[in-house]
Amino acid sequence: MKMLVTGATGKLGSKVVEALLKTVPASQIAVSVRDPQKAEGLRARGIDVRPGDFNDPASLDAAFAGVDRILIISADGDNETRIRQHTNAVEAAARANVRFIAYTSLANAKESKLFLAPPHQAAEQAILKTGIPYSFLRNNWYLENETASIQGVLAGAPWVTSAGAGKVGWALQQDYAEAAAAVLAGEGHEHTIYELSGKLLTQEELASAVGAVLGKDVPVQQVDDAAYADIMKGAGVPDFVIPMLVEIQKGIREGALEVESNDFEKLLGRPATPVDRALRQIVDSIS
């Protein structure tokens, strides 16, 4: 059986491949990457490295040939581009007659009003349209996304947010990667949806957990969206990024990521890594 991971040189994809290698022979693993040179390390370990670009359907036809099970990792970029790219990948998987599609989606994707939701909604619909057995891995939020805020706290800044009392199910990329590997290499995951979420926390609760790890008090500065945008600009965040950060804060405030679930435990036999341990890993990596 041949299983393929797209975007395997990315942060999440590389972790998925490492998780797969713990249970699956390298000869059964293929990866699709835009730049095969970046995957030479994987090739040296016996993994089948194939060039594949979500913007080039012909390259995907070649990359997905002979694959039984595929994990399509969602792409980066603006919504319009991502919708096109995800659709290209799903349609190529169907042309290749894959037998199972796993896809890294977004929390509560079908109903989500988060500005990031449309590409995931389009991908899920495209997969359903193929009739191929699937699993939607609806990832809540990477704890690593808060690295800049943690760095700010280390430098003496407060924890700044406009998310109010909104809750998030933060978890480490490693947890999401291990869950994806378990689904791709496992059995009995056909026609499933997994809401992958850590323990739900507010910004204040996360900031308190950061403070406990750092051994210092972390003040929380709750502001409105306009003030949040100004503070981000003052912190040197690029102008084109700021509206996205504001929309994420707004979505959290409105409950877009407040999805409670024990699906990590179903897939991994354990909950997501406790937030104190997870934060310690991040702090150790940046300090």
DSSP calls for 32-64: EES-GGGGHHHHHTT-EEEE--TT-HHHHHHHH
> Contact 67/30 with Cβ under 8 angstroms?
yes
pLDDT score recorded for residue 15: 98
Give 3-139's CATH code, choosing from 3.40.50.720, 3.30.200.20, 3.30.40.10, 1.10.3720.10.
3.40.50.720
Query: Which residue from 25, 52, 20 is spatially nearest to 36, judged by alpha carbons?
Result: 52
At CA 30, angle to CA 29 and CA 32, rounded to 5? 150
CATH topology of domain 140-171+197-258+273-287: UDP-galactose 4-epimerase; domain 1 (3.90.25)
Q: pLDDT averaged over consecutive 10-residue blocks of the chain (287 residues)? A: 97 98 98 96 97 98 98 95 98 98 98 96 98 98 96 95 98 98 98 98 98 96 98 94 96 97 97 97 92
At CA 54, angle to CA 136 and CA 13, rounded to 5? 55
- Distance, in Å, from the CA atom of 110 to the CA atom of 43, rounded to the nearest integer, reads 37
pLDDT score recorded for residue 261: 96
In 10 A of CB 145, how many CB atoms? 13
Angle at which helix 147-154 crosses helix 203-214, to 10 degrees, equals: 50
- Distance, in Å, from the CA atom of 130 to the CA atom of 286, rounded to the nearest integer, reads 43
Domain boundaries, the chain: 3-139, 140-171+197-258+273-287
- Residue 272: burial class (beta carbons within 10 Å; 0-12, 13-18, 19+): buried
pLDDT score recorded for residue 287: 76
Structure token pair of residue 75: 């792409």
Strand ranges (DSSP E) for the chain? 3-6, 29-33, 48-51, 69-72, 100-106, 134-139, 141-142, 159-161, 170-171, 192-196, 220-222
Query: Which residue from 166, 168, 164, 167 is spatially nearest to 223, judged by alpha carbons?
Result: 164
- Distance, in Å, from the CA atom of 167 to the CA atom of 182, rounded to the nearest integer, reads 27
Rg of the chain taking only CA atoms, in angstroms: 19
Give how far Cα 64 sits from Cα of 4, 31, 37, 205, 275, Å.
Answer: 8, 9, 19, 44, 37
Structure token pair of residue 149: 């805020």
